[in-house]
Chain A
């Protein structure tokens, strides 16, 4: 079936480095893509989103890139900090908004001092 997946289950980076978390999706009809951060024992927290008619969107220290040609999504975190350590999920929506999200399996980001 169609699903959202991730290339790397665990990513280890040094504090201060930039992090890149990747995600592949399979449904070309998806029109919203969202990144969530989940800390241990907490629910997912919205980070940033991007519509299918865009290829880049920037937030505070984060950038999401969308490559529709190869159905690839990435989250870039600049100057990674210990507080960025968490599991990151990409999700796609095919309903024109944020509902009925299809989540990937997640990538754990470990930031080392």
Chain B
């Protein structure tokens, strides 16, 4: 049982490039979410999904897109990377909406030059 798997672990992009951060969970969890973590700050919610085909915005959604075509996968897309998006990105999942604590992946460290 791998839990929440994020790929890649590290990535460097140039400004304006696009990229997809992958997140997969093998626990059949309905709820998935993306957070970003910046130095000296707590995690901030970007987007979340309560089930396949359903997504919604979190606290800081601008510059990011998501989709949820399957229960297992919840990719995060940067369409045109900006230096302000340099951060560590965490994906999380939980069995149902609001019932149990979220399980986090180990993060993707993204640098945008």
- A residues near B (Cβ < 8 Å) are 4, 34, 41-46, 49, 89, 91, 93, 95-106
Contacts and interface: CB of A to CB of B under 8 A. Distances in A.
Nearest to B56: A100
Given A43-B4, A44-B90, A99-B48, A49 B43 contact: no
Contacts of B98: 93, 95-99
Most buried by B among A43, A91, A101, A104: A43
Contact of B43 (A89, A93, A99): A89
Interface in B97-113: 97-107
B28 to A, nearest CB: 17
Contacts, number: 62
Contacts of A34: 101
Residue among A34, A89, A101 facing the most chain B CB atoms (10 A cut-off): A101
A53 to B, nearest CB: 16
A104 B37 CA distance: 11
Using C-beta atoms within 8 Å of the partner chain, give the interface range for chain B: 20 to 34
Question: Looking at chain A's contact residues, is the secondary structure mostly helix, strand, loop, or mixed?
Answer: loop
Contact of B99 (A98, A101, A105): A98
Interface in B22-48: 31, 33, 35, 40-45, 48
A42 B9 CA distance: 11
Given A44-B90, A45-B104, A100 B42 contact: no
Interface string B84-95: 000000101010
Given A43-B4, A43-B105, 8 more contacts: A41-B107, A44-B104, A95-B98, A98-B94, A98-B98, A99-B94, A99-B97, A102-B42
